[in-house]
Structure 1
Amino acid sequence: MAPTASSSSAPNAGDSKSRLLRFTGHRNFRQRLILSLVSQRPVRIDSIRPDSSSPGIRDFEANFLRLLEKVTNGSHVEISYTGTSILLKPGVIAGGKVVHDCSLTRGIGYWLEWMVVLAPFAKKELHLTLRGVTNMDGDLGVDTIRTVTLPHLTLFLPLDSLSTLASSLELRIAKRGSAPLGGGEVHFRCPVVKHLSTVNFVAPGRVKKIRGIATSTRVSPQMANRLIDAARAVLGRYIPDLYLFADVYRGEDSGKSPGFAITLLATSTTGAIHSAEAASKATDPGLPEDLAQSAARMLLEEIASSGCVDRSHQPLVLLLMALSPQDVAKCTMASPTANAVQMMRDLKEALGVSFKITPASDATTALVDGAEDDDAEEEDEQKKMLQKLANPELFAYSCVGVNFGGFKKVG
């Protein structure tokens, strides 16, 4: 479990030292660096894997720091000799055209997930090109970021400019690349805004459709079809509006390693999105049928947890709520994950924002239309799932934002 953050300030220290954020451990490494940039407070992270056989920051964490230096102007990073401590003095989020080669030990989503948060506050419109592994188990895939993360971001974009922003907020997948050699390439473009808008998303609604995309690189195109057939066999009994399609890349656009992945998302009547994904491992790809069934069951778990935001995006939404105008932002979500709890602690530390969490007993349940709960032949697991769907544990999260204005020049 990640240790609780604690601030450190010396009585006679200068202003910069008194504003220093201090954290310990390697968990939530990226979110703490992002909080340093949006709060404009230097951050020091100590005790990064001190007892490990190879102590200190990993290659992908150092790579993330290099990306931050590229998208900002004036940021200064200090890494201790052993690598177990780092100090970031934040600069201005500059934006502009940035090309970055990601470490192949993590998926591109490791970098892109938090760049999506920084991009709207940049001085100039961000055009980001990332190269590496597009889908990897443990990190958000580029398809999930395109179909789930970006719609979550649009909830916070001003309504009066949404029509003009829609065309300039995009994620384009130029090449796909699987582990271990990667070879994928994505292009992310995001406009800048003066301020976010206040979110009020309290009705999860009912799931009305499920969509999915199966991808394959350097393997037979039949693999994507097998993924689709296996996922449809699980999800088809719950909802009629189900559409899964294959996205097969060939030649140079298919990266340097064989692999396959599937991304699934369920959309509700109110626009709430729940997602799940699974990607083959480089060492043991396994059968596509097993991978698809695992992803389908994860999606049903997400639907069962209900809420307006899926669990993997809770920290991102909580951060955007804290950066919103000085008005009460409200959102209904499932019980907080460990990452969401740590995000709320870190937000209290960095921005002074506190969240109020109350049971949302009156929230609309996210029942799946067309579920066959009267089938006497159903297995026990499916019955438990349906009971959980009918009675999800929901909470209303609310806070007053700090009205972060970003670095765009006014005028």
Structure 2
Amino acid sequence: MEFEGCSGFRQRLVLSTLSGKPVKIRNIRSKDDNPGLRDFEASFIRMLDKLTNGTRIEINQTGTVLFYQPGLLYGGSVEHECNVQRSVGYYLEALLMLAPFMKTPIKAVLKGITNHPTDPSVDLLKVTAVPLMKRFGINGDGLEIKVVKRGMAPGGGGEVHFSCPVSRSMKPVQLTEAGKIKRIRGTAFSVRVSPQMANRIVDSARSILNKFIPDIYIYTDHMKGPNSGKSPGFGLVLVAETLNGVFLGAEVVSTPQGQGEMQLPEDLGRNCAKLLLEEIYRGGCVDSTNQSLALLYMTLGQQEVSKTLLGPLSPYTMDFLRHIRDFFQIMFKIETQKPSEDECKGGEKVLMTCVGAGYNNISKSIK
């Protein structure tokens, strides 16, 4: 399959690996002053190479053409030094998509930046993606994301452990009712700054959220010494849980050192609380960070109907749907649902329906 340009780079390689279809990507930033693959993309390719057996990768001299012929997903123990241009979340998002289809359960150690303003942080994926994976029948034993060391941009120095059992096939799901919010949990973290920063973040976030719900608990996490990475910073991750077991998350991280004015912890806490309320307003059974993960699992599910209610689709998700059509020939039925007059349930929702491709993990033996 042939593509042009660098947009949707991760999506193409992940779907190529799952479908077994070789990919050729041309004109990667060919008109830029600095053409070709970036360091973080090359690092991503190296990670895929470690996870698979028999992968063939060819890159031309300028780095503007990539040929990728996927091998078999193997898994096992993997250690990878993530490039500091992007966070560990950039690599972990792809790992979450591939992990259930490995031959042996994966135990990955990823090193780099754990919290970065441009990518979903490890903390956010831990509280929103892991419960979603359990919904699709990925057995909870051994499914874990653990932050051992926290590393902020630009220096990094963080360490994350991720383990996931293998799954024979994906369960079809019917996630059509999000339910009402029952509680809000969160983590305010600070490294190489005063521990008081985290407390200030908690107070300002609570000042907004207390107007809506009483059951709020925000932990403070202050890592010291070698566990605190190489750069100072702080941030907040919030997650709202509904009565039906749906998790909606939001996060804000301080500006990386040397890249502009530092945000006040009070402003950061309030911004994060507002982002969480916006995520709740958007609604759906999956938050905007994990839309593509849910749609991929639906695509690869058994040959039965799966339905999931989402908030408005993000541009990244729209790209992902096009790639799913190209690689797996699976089309989704998309129905918009307007909020009813009598009760305010937030913005317009989208009901996504598809019949799974019946994808089986051929490497996993039947017990």
Task: Note whether the superposition's TM-score is higher than 0.5.
Answer: yes
Q: 1:215 aligns with which of 169, 174, 189?
A: 189
Q: 1:244 aligns with which of 185, 195, 218?
A: 218
Report the number of matched residues: 363
Secondary structure class of the residue paired with 1:359: strand
Change in CA separation of 1:146 and 1:311 when aligned onto 2, cut-off 3 Å = same
Greater Cα offset, 53-62 or 280-289 = 280-289
Query: Which residue pairs with 2:62 in the alignment?
Result: 82
State the one-letter code of the partner of 2:265. Answer: P
Secondary structure class of the residue paired with 1:262: strand
Larger radius of gyration: 1
Q: 2:127 aligns with which of 139, 147, 155?
A: 147
Cα displacement (A) at 1:408: 2.4
Query: Which residue pairs with 1:190 in the alignment?
Result: 164
State the one-letter code of the partner of 2:229. Answer: G
Contact 1:207 1:266 in 2 (8 A): yes
Name the CA distance, whole Å, in 2 between partners of 1:310 and 1:273: 7
Q: Are 2:311 and 1:337 aligned? A: no
Contact 2:149 2:227 in 1 (8 A): yes
Moved over 3 A (4+): 360-365
Name the CA distance, whole Å, in 1 between partners of 2:310 and 2:98: 23
Cα displacement (A) at 1:362: 8.0
Cα displacement (A) at 1:311: 1.2
Please give the per-residue CA displacement for 1:134-159, whole angstroms capped at 9, x wherever unaligned.
1000101111111111111111126x
Cα displacement (A) at 1:364: 12
Cα displacement (A) at 1:83: 1.2
Name the CA distance, whole Å, in 2 between partners of 1:391 and 1:73: 46
Change in CA separation of 1:157 and 1:363 when aligned onto 2, cut-off 3 Å = farther
Query: Which residue pairs with 1:40 in the alignment?
Result: 20
Cα displacement (A) at 1:363: 8.5
Name the CA distance, whole Å, in 2 between partners of 1:363 and 1:81: 57
Name the CA distance, whole Å, in 2 between partners of 1:363 and 1:92: 48
Name the CA distance, whole Å, in 2 between partners of 1:74 and 1:364: 57
Query: Which residue pairs with 1:320 in the alignment?
Result: 297
State the one-letter code of the partner of 2:330. Answer: V
Contact 1:204 1:363 in 2 (8 A): no
C-alpha RMSD over aligned residues: 1.6
Aligned residues with identical type, % of pairs:
41
Secondary structure class of the residue paired with 1:81: coil
Q: Are 2:251 and 1:277 aligned? A: yes
Change in CA separation of 1:289 and 1:122 when aligned onto 2, cut-off 3 Å = same
State the one-letter code of the partner of 2:206. Answer: R
Contact 1:363 1:394 in 2 (8 A): no
Query: Which residue pairs with 2:351 in the alignment?
Result: 396
Cα displacement (A) at 1:200: 0.8
Please give the per-residue CA displacement for 1:157-205, whole angstroms capped at 9, x wherever unaligned.
26xxxxxx32310111111111111111011000001111011100011
Contact 1:193 1:408 in 2 (8 A): no
Secondary structure class of the residue paired with 1:99: strand
Contact 1:102 1:108 in 2 (8 A): yes
Change in CA separation of 1:253 and 1:391 when aligned onto 2, cut-off 3 Å = closer
State the one-letter code of the partner of 2:168. Answer: K
Q: Are 2:79 and 1:99 aligned? A: yes
State the one-letter code of the partner of 2:12. Answer: R
Name the CA distance, whole Å, in 1 between partners of 2:158 and 2:69: 32
State the one-letter code of the partner of 1:67. Answer: M
Name the CA distance, whole Å, in 2 between partners of 1:204 and 1:364: 18
Contact 1:332 1:360 in 2 (8 A): no
Alignment of 1:1-400 (within 5 A): 21-157=1-137, 165-282=139-256, 283=258, 284=260, 285-360=262-337, 390-400=345-355
Change in CA separation of 1:392 and 1:240 when aligned onto 2, cut-off 3 Å = same
Name the CA distance, whole Å, in 1 between partners of 2:316 and 2:349: 17
Name the CA distance, whole Å, in 1 between partners of 2:234 and 2:110: 20
Using the size of structure 2 for normalisation, the TM-score is 0.95
Contact 1:93 1:122 in 2 (8 A): yes
State the one-letter code of the partner of 1:331. Answer: T
Name the CA distance, whole Å, in 1 between partners of 2:347 and 2:128: 21
State the one-letter code of the partner of 2:248. Answer: H
**Unaligned stretches of 5+ in structure 1?**
1-20, 159-164, 368-388
Secondary structure class of the residue paired with 1:134: coil
